[in-house]
């Protein structure tokens, strides 16, 4: 089984939008989010992933107010966590994720 490497997108000023969001969550939610990401990295949880346009994916977290993790893939073995949010911030989070993905590697 191939397990994909997980990295965080970092902005030019050195911040990580995903980590900033993640660190505000309570401990139980953080555990659930990490477990969901790990399942995806191992090739599972496919029904919780939705491909969006421009190479960005949305991962639904099965807990709380519709938590979402937005990510992209660099090749076949790296997942880049771009930003997280919930159903209320979904459209703004998708726009940000696409922007971050466009800036990745520049």
pTM for the full predicted model: 0.94
Whole-angstrom CA distances from 36 to 14, 39, 63, 67, 68 are 26, 5, 10, 11, 10
Biggest CA-to-CA distance, the chain: 36
- List pLDDT tens digits, range 13-60: 999 999 999 999 999 999 999 999 999 999 887 888 999 989 999 999
Domains of the chain: 5-103 (3.30.2310.20)
Indicate if the alpha-carbon torsion angle 22, 5, 92, 105 is positive or negative.
positive
User: CA–CA separation, 92 vs 97, rounded Å?
Assistant: 9
């Amino acid at each position: 089984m191939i397990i994909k490497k997980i990295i965080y997108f970092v902005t030019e000023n050195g911040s990580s939008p995903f980590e900033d969001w993640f660190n505000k969550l309570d401990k139980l939610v953080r555990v659930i989010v990490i477990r969901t990401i790990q399942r995806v990295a191992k090739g599972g949880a496919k029904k919780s992933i939705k491909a969006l346009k421009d190479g960005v994916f949305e991962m639904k977290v099965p807990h709380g107010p519709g938590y979402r993790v937005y990510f992209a893939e660099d090749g076949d073995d790296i997942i880049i966590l771009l930003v997280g949010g919930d159903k209320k911030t979904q459209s703004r989070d998708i726009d940000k994720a696409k922007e971050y993905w466009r800036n990745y590697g520049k």
